[in-house]
Structures are given as C-alpha cells and as structure tokens.
Structure 1
C-alpha cells in the first residue's frame, strides 16, 4: 500500500469510528501557520478588543510548530450540546430565576472533550504506535475556531461562531496536533449570506462587524468579570448569570436544533436556571458542591453572585429588597455592596431608600460609595417625576 493511501484509509476509518468514540464531527487541517489569522489578531489587539483570557503570544496562537515538534496535521473534533430546556422552572414574582448560557450546561465541556480526545488518541495509537499528539480544548494556545474552520467542521459565522449546517453552532470544539500526515479537508463555503440577525440582535453592539467581536463589550465576557459594571451594561445583562446566547438563538441556522445524545451534557434545570435570592448568600463550599462540575464555575462564585444581584434589580423584585439590603449592609466585598445599591435604586421604595441613606454614611470604599450615591439620586429623581 502506498504511503498516501495508508493515511487516507486511516482517516476514513477514523471518521467511521467517530460516533463510537462519542464524537459528532471530525475534520483534518494542515499544520501550516495561520498567517491571515495572525494579521487579524494583531489588528484586534491594536483596537483593544481582546478579552484578556486569550493566550498572549500571537505566534503561539497561530504557529503549530511552536507548540509541537514537526507537526504534520491537526485533527479537529466537534461535540454537539443541547440548546433547549424541556419544561423549565418558571421565573415569577417572588421566585425570580437567572439563566446560565447553554455552553455551560451539564458537565464541564473541557472534561468531556478531553475524554473524547483521549479516546481518539488511544484509537489512533492502536493503529499507529509511533503516534505523537498534543491535544487542546479552549484553553490551549491555538484558536479552536480557526482550526475547526480550516478542517471543514463549519464556516466562520458573522457571530464569530463556527456554524455547521447539521449541528448549527451548538458545538464544542477541540483539536490535537499530530505527527500523522493525514490528508486535509477543505474549508466550507460561507453559509451566512446576507443575514445580519446576530449583529442586529447583540445587546451591547459587541459584534462590530461580520466575524468581528469587541470582547470587552460582549455580555458573555462581562458576566465573567469580577469588578463593578456600568449602568448600561447592568441593564442589558438582564437575568444572565453567566454567558450570553443571543447571537446564537437568533441565528436561522440554529432553528429547531437541539442535541440530547450526550447524557453528561444535559442540563439540571435547577442549576442552569436557578433561583436568584439563594445565590446572594451561598457559601464557597456549597457553591463548589452545586456548581463545581460546570464550566461556569471556573471564575468562582463572585461574578455569578454579582450578576444575581443585577438580575433582581432588572426584575424590580420587591420581595428581594430585604435580601439586597443584607448584601448592602453585610457583604465584605465592595463590588457586591455597590451593585446591591444599584439594584435597590432600580426597585425603589421607602425601605430601600432608608437603607441607602444609612449605607452611604458608613461606606468606606469610594467606588461602592459612588454607586450608593447614584442609586439615591436616581430614586430622588423618580420621586420628583412621580410628584409632578
């Protein structure tokens, strides 16, 4: 058998074995440097659009040979995840709920993809004993999306997601650099056409153009930060606790697509759409026990607690005033106190007003004090309007 035929046959067998390995799509990309991507990333950095969570070395992000000795090909994989909750619990007055983005439903996808990549590696090792690989999932240096696009798993959507006709953008991506000269797949043609629904629907205008994201304006990024947020951002966060799915839910390619064949990725309704008030005082141990197996837990409880406070303010949930006053008075973290003040200002009422007046006198953190004063001013303005 010719050498080229050997690798083609191995690739065909690998594709046939994908489902048995728990993988929905496999593609192969060349291990050449991602020259065009590097120029895009340079411009992205110059414009200040990075999130800060990325690998800082642009050469490592775009040149596989800096990560692996003599790379020959990159195998890209995709695993589909669910997009719908069946019979979800209702968010209603007195029992308001937040929502966690779909990509964090079920078991942490990093764990799931590493398991699948490990199975694929074992499968390849049985057939090619001299195999060498370097596997990556999300936190690796390479761009998962750039590899997946080159490997033909999907096209780069205007929402910066990899879009696949069959699976939509509800897919997790992973890759392994290898020393196997597997024949590469061809990238798919763009399937977005003239559609701009994702760009039009982005709550903060973070999609600044087709396939162009200002990460620092993206709600998905902002919900993962730990500091104070601006008023406009908090209003637009709504009841999101972690992540944002707007640019995916409005996408016509994703219509009626929901994947339930990976049991470990299925959502626990009470975890992905939790009651907000209990989150305000959840302890570290309980948080780790309840949420530790989900990818949304990677930043700890603080961002999710802050976002729960924001959500109660956006709901104008009067029954939560006492709980928010507790945060304002007792939480040791300035961000939580200031955000609680913001929410109390949105809800209003005599009890909230009295609590803010008391809090501003004893607040020692300057930034938190600013938020308290702004909330008081907003309530005073509303009272004036109502009296006219």
Structure 2
C-alpha cells in the first residue's frame, strides 16, 4: 500500500462522510503540554474531569504500541438558532451552551471515527487503531493544534479559519506512518477580549484556564455553587459561551450543515419552572440525547434555581419553599434556601425559620441562617 496515496483517499473519504476537517499529527510526546498540565495540578486549576495520569495524556506511545500518527478530526456546530423563544415574567428560561445543542457530540464523532476505522481496515487490515472523543486520555486541543486543524487560542479553544472555535474535536491513534500536517500560526495577536470579559476571571494569561472558576465547569458540579459565583452564572443551566461569543475570529461564523447539531429551541432554552419538576426518568427521556445531560438532572435543576434568582422571579417562591421543605437532596434545599434569601418575602422568611427547626444537614442550615440574616438587613 502506498501510504501517501492512501492518505489522500482517507481525506476524501472523511469529507464524504461529513467530517469538516481532518489533519495528521506526529505521535511524538507533548513535552510543553506536560509542563502546563503539571503546573495546572500544582496551582489547583484542574477540573477533576480529566484523565489524572499526565504521562498518558502526553505520551501517545503509552496508549497504543507502535503508534506513529494521530489523526485529528473536527465537526462544525451552529452558533445561532432559529425561532429562539423569549424569556418573560412567569415563563423564565435558562440556556444550554452551544456545545450541548442537538445530538450529543460524543456519539456523533464516535460514529464518524468508527467509519474511518472501518475504511482504514479495509485497506490496511493489520493497522492498529484507537479512537477517542473528549473523555479519552489525550488532549483533543493539543492534538488538533499539532495536526493543523486550527491554533490554540487564549480562550483555550481551537480556532479554525473556516468555523471559528465552534468545532468539536476527536482523534485516532494509528501505527500507520501518515505524513504530518503543517500546524497553523497563532492569530490571536494582542487581542485579549476573552480574558477581559470572562465573568469569573477563569482565563489566565497565555491561554491558561483555572477550571475551578470557569462557569462551564461550575454548572457541571454536583455540590453547592460557591457564593461568589452564583450571581455570575446568570441563566446558564449548562456551560458558558462568553469567551467564544466575544471572540473576533467567531464574528459571522455560523455553520448549520451538520443536521445532528441543529438545536431544538424549547430544549436548549428550557422553561425553568418545568425543569424543576423532572424526575430522573423524564429528564433522561427529554434531555438524554444531549451532551449537557451527562451529569444527570441534579446540577441542571440546581442551576435553574440560580437562574430564577437571576431573573428575580418572585412567582417561583412557592416552588422554592416546596423544595426547601420536601426535596431529599441537600444541595437543592440549600440552593433553595439561598434563593429565598435573595427573593425576600414574608412567606419565604417563615419557611426558612420553620425549616431551620427541622433541618439536619449542616450545609443547608448554614444557607438558611445566612438567608435569614440577609432578610434582617
């Protein structure tokens, strides 16, 4: 098999099955990335969702014997939706970040990679292959940067000339010796809009991210959201797009050709009060196909309460009282207590006092006490 000719066939096939960009990277170690990841750990900036073994993240040979090449792919996703419903009093809405619009991108990219694997094995039956999307050991962005998909930007995204940073990434390790692609030049220049506008200051100079301060990370946690970040979450129920929407390289970038990622406006801008009514079963039935559902309903419902406070939605007070007194989840009761403290009302104060006498969970007691103190000020 002529590897150079086959590489061109593979590129053509990738485009034929709807892959927007494909690039090829050397499987050499990633020493610069290793140093950055070690620093992230030392500073306490890691999210905890990543592969903990930094060696596996930076040395492809640890993942596939004889690996020579990493194939990187990118699929574009939309930045706009048609017929977006409006949020109004009595019918307030949250928002899922664009990376959760349409079908779960993990599923879509894995299907594309599986087709690529099958195509390769027809022509090279002895090829060794290992694919991954997001949750694998490798850094999708580091691979994509080396493979010439785009450059690694200050907002910690890969920016492509064609689609901006609105792309999903996946990769495949192989022992086939494909010719490496040429990496792109960094085009961020002196621009620092994403750094300056990040609501929580999570973006650090040089494209470094403190995940512990990142709203996209905070909306996925299952514990109480730290007090300093609650007001900054706004009406986001999953993820955050601020560092993408302010980026000049994303101006005018909107790709609607990947039908799998077409958003359902009612799902990605959900009504907040009905969101609080979902059981595990109904949540999975409604949102289970979206990437934003991967942590289950608990973080989403907690975030919905925070969003109701953002809107100062006093019509939600009876529901918040019900959650405070009846919900079995301490985080939900604690968040409801905080919300009632923010939406000061006579009935809310009475409910807080009553629950204080009943409550056994320390974190909820603390939130109730602070909410009552706020009401007295």
Give 1:130 deviation, angstroms: 2.2
**1:137 aligned residue (114, 133, 136):** 133
Return the alpha-carbon distance in structure 1 between the equivalents of residues 187 and 8 of structure 2: 26
Aligned to 1:349: 345
Q: Deviations over 1:112-153 (max 9, x none)?
A: 000000111122222222222100100100110000000000
Return the alpha-carbon distance in structure 2 between the equivalents of residues 270 and 128 of structure 1: 46
Give 1:174 deviation, angstroms: 0.3
How is 1:72-87 mapped onto 2 (pairs within 5 angstroms)?
72-87=68-83
Aligned to 2:374: 378
- SS, match of residue 158 in structure 1: coil
Give 1:171 deviation, angstroms: 0.4
- SS, match of residue 276 in structure 2: helix
**2:65 aligned residue (52, 69, 73):** 69
**2:14 aligned residue (15, 18, 40):** 18
- SS, match of residue 149 in structure 2: coil
Return the alpha-carbon distance in structure 2 between the equivalents of residues 97 and 84 of structure 1: 17
Give 1:22 deviation, angstroms: 1.3
Instruction: Say whether the 8 Å CA contact 1:314–1:346 is kept in structure 2.
Output: no
Return the alpha-carbon distance in structure 2 between the equivalents of residues 275 and 344 of structure 1: 19
Aligned to 1:330: 326
1:286 aligns with 2:285: no
Give 1:295 deviation, angstroms: 1.0
Unaligned segments of structure 2, at least 5 residues: none
1:162 aligns with 2:165: no
Give me the TM-score of the superposition, normalised by structure 2: 0.98
Q: CA RMSD in A?
A: 1.0
How is 1:85-124 mapped onto 2 (pairs within 5 angstroms)?
85-124=81-120
Instruction: Say whether the 8 Å CA contact 1:314–1:343 is kept in structure 2.
Output: no
Q: Which moved more, 1:348-357 or 1:264-273?
A: 348-357
Give 1:17 deviation, angstroms: 2.6
Aligned to 1:229: 225
Aligned residue-pair number:
377
- SS, match of residue 217 in structure 2: helix
How is 1:121-200 mapped onto 2 (pairs within 5 angstroms)?
121-200=117-196
Instruction: Say whether the 8 Å CA contact 1:287–1:301 is kept in structure 2.
Output: yes
Give 1:34 deviation, angstroms: 0.7
1:242 aligns with 2:238: yes
- SS, match of residue 283 in structure 2: helix
Give 1:104 deviation, angstroms: 0.8
Unaligned segments of structure 1, at least 5 residues: 382-388
Q: Deviations over 1:350-369 (max 9, x none)?
A: 22222112122211111111
Q: Which moved more, 1:369-378 or 1:140-149?
A: 369-378
Aligned to 1:296: 292
Aligned to 1:33: 29
Return the alpha-carbon distance in structure 1 between the equivalents of residues 359 and 57 of structure 2: 45
How is 1:251-262 mapped onto 2 (pairs within 5 angstroms)?
251-262=247-258
Return the alpha-carbon distance in structure 2 between the equivalents of residues 262 and 314 of structure 1: 33
Instruction: Say whether the 8 Å CA contact 1:313–1:342 is kept in structure 2.
Output: no
Give 1:277 deviation, angstroms: 0.6
Aligned to 1:384: none
- SS, match of residue 337 in structure 1: helix
Instruction: Say whether the 8 Å CA contact 1:51–1:216 is kept in structure 2.
Output: yes
- SS, match of residue 119 in structure 2: helix
Q: Which moved more, 1:199-208 or 1:342-351?
A: 342-351
Give 1:195 deviation, angstroms: 0.5
Instruction: Say whether the 8 Å CA contact 1:199–1:210 is kept in structure 2.
Output: no
- SS, match of residue 131 in structure 2: strand
Return the alpha-carbon distance in structure 2 between the equivalents of residues 40 and 250 of structure 1: 25
Q: Which moved more, 1:99-108 or 1:372-381?
A: 372-381
Q: Deviations over 1:219-261 (max 9, x none)?
A: 1001000111222211101111011110001001111111111
- SS, match of residue 18 in structure 1: helix
Return the alpha-carbon distance in structure 2 between the equivalents of residues 364 and 173 of structure 1: 45
Q: Deviations over 1:52-93 (max 9, x none)?
A: 011011110000111001101010000001111212011111
Q: Which moved more, 1:117-126 or 1:174-183?
A: 117-126
Give 1:95 deviation, angstroms: 0.3
- SS, match of residue 94 in structure 1: coil
Instruction: Say whether the 8 Å CA contact 1:26–1:77 is kept in structure 2.
Output: yes
